[in-house]
């Protein structure tokens, strides 16, 4: 049954990446990008690479998300393209 | 363009304290826990997942959380902005210094087994040697991430 959980995580990862690409609200895009990184971390943990998963969770879902949000605060929250 | 509320309060040039008391109290309560977890990850990086890089990012995350919640000026006592880049350089010097200390003792670069501590057997020497390396990595990663945040706030 473990493959069902992994398929669910993969689908959630792809959906969060597509939402981050298509979203007009850049804050929502930053949050869904953090969700993407977190799902990648959970998939890496389920594959047995705990160290890589830990780094991905700390950096991708933590630090990069914070920097994206600071950049949004300094510029604009709406995507113009 | 629709005017949204800002994710956190940003003054004209610097980040001010958050207007929400929930965010202020939560950031003050969470930051010591994150720092304890960061130190745990750093010290147990030999045997378990983790290490200097992850511990450093966790310590930097706690400081960035304090900066975002309590404001830029109020958290200068936690980590002064002028110290971030010099601390990163000190971390790099610790790394390089540990490597070249092994060279001076007659071994290869980063060869901890030749350290002149005869009361320690080689496994302990390797353990303490990698601990020094991790101290350097932790200092550099933590202070560099905080420096990136501070310079982002500078605009």
Task: Give the tens place of pLDDT for each residue, A15-56.
Answer: 999 999 999 899 999 999 999 999 999 999 999 999 999 999
pLDDT digits (tens, 9 = 90+) for B103-114: 998 888 888 888
Instruction: Tell me what pLDDT residue A21 has.
Output: 92
Total domain count for chain B? Answer: 1
Please state, in angstroms and rounded to a whole number, the distance separating the CA atoms of residues B113 and B127: 10
* Any domain includes A62: yes
* Any domain includes B113: yes
Angle between helices B122-154 and A64-74 (to 10 degrees): 10
* Contacts with A53 from chain B: Cβ below 8 Å: 49
Instruction: Tell me what pLDDT residue B1 has.
Output: 42
Chain B nearest-CA distance from A43, in A, is 16
CB A32 within 8 A of CB A23: yes
* Contacts with A49 from chain B: Cβ below 8 Å: none
Instruction: Tell me what pLDDT residue B144 has.
Output: 94
Please state, in angstroms and rounded to a whole number, the distance separating the CA atoms of residues A51 and A1: 24
CB B25 within 8 A of CB B32: no
CB B47 within 8 A of CB B123: no
Query: What is the domain range of residue B60?
Result: 21-154
* Any domain includes B67: yes
pLDDT digits (tens, 9 = 90+) for B93-145: 999 999 999 899 888 888 888 888 888 888 888 888 888 899 999 999 999 99
CB B70 within 8 A of CB B24: yes
* Any domain includes B6: no
* Any domain includes B50: yes
Please state, in angstroms and rounded to a whole number, the distance separating the CA atoms of residues B25 and B41: 25
B15 forms beta bridges with B10
Higher-confidence position of A41 and B51: A41
* Any domain includes A81: no
What is the mean predicted confidence (pLDDT) over B57-73?
Answer: 91
Total domain count for chain A? Answer: 1
Asked whether residue B45 carries a pLDDT value surpassing 50, the answer given is yes
Alpha helices in chain B (DSSP H): 21-43, 52-70, 84-104, 122-154
* Any domain includes A80: no
Query: Taking the CB of residue B63, how many other CB atoms lie within 10 A of it?
Result: 22
* Any domain includes B8: no
* Contacts with A77 from chain B: Cβ below 8 Å: 4
Asked whether residue B18 carries a pLDDT value surpassing 70, the answer given is yes
Q: Does the distance separating the beta carbons of B2 and A78 come in below 8 Å?
A: yes
Asked whether residue B3 carries a pLDDT value surpassing 60, the answer given is no
* Any domain includes B90: yes
User: Is the Cβ of B152 closer than 8 Å to some Cβ of chain A?
Assistant: yes
Please state, in angstroms and rounded to a whole number, the distance separating the CA atoms of residues B4 and B6: 6
CB pairs under 8 A between A and B: 51
Query: What is the domain range of residue A57?
Result: 2-74
* Any domain includes A79: no
Find the Cα–Cα–Cα–Cα dihedral A28, B31, B91, B80, rounded to 10°: 90
Query: Taking the CB of residue B102, how many other CB atoms lie within 10 A of it?
Result: 20
Please state, in angstroms and rounded to a whole number, the distance separating the CA atoms of residues A62 and A37: 9
Q: How confident is the model at residue B2 (pLDDT cuts 50, 70, 90)?
A: very low
Judged on CB neighbours under 10 Å (0-12, 13-18, 19+), B137 is: buried
Instruction: Locate A58 and state its tokens.
Output: 């700390």
* Any domain includes B65: yes
């Amino acid at each position: 049954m473990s493959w069902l959980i992994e398929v669910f995580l993969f689908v959630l990862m792809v959906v969060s990446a597509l939402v981050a690409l298509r979203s007009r609200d850049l804050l929502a895009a930053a949050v869904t990008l953090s969700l993407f990184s977190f799902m990648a971390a959970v998939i890496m943990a389920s594959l047995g690479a705990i160290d890589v998963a830990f780094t991905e969770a700390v950096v991708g879902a933590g630090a990069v998300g914070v920097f994206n949000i600071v950049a949004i605060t300094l510029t604009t929250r709406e995507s113009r393209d | 363009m629709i005017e949204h509320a800002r994710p956190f309060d940003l003054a004209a040039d610097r980040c001010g304290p958050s207007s929400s008391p929930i965010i202020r109290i939560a950031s003050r309560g969470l930051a010591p826990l994150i720092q304890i977890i960061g130190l745990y990850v750093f010290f147990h990086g030999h045997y378990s997942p983790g290490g200097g890089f992850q511990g450093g990012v966790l310590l930097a995350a706690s400081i960035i959380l304090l900066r975002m919640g309590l404001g830029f000026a109020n958290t200068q006592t936690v980590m002064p902005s002028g110290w971030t880049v010099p601390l990163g350089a000190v971390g790099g010097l610790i790394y390089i210094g540990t490597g070249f200390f092994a060279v001076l003792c007659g071994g290869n670069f980063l060869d901890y087994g030749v350290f002149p501590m005869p009361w320690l057997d080689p496994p302990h020497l390797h353990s303490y040697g990698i601990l020094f390396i991790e101290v350097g990595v932790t200092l550099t990663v933590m202070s560099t991430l905080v420096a990136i945040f501070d310079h982002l706030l500078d605009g």
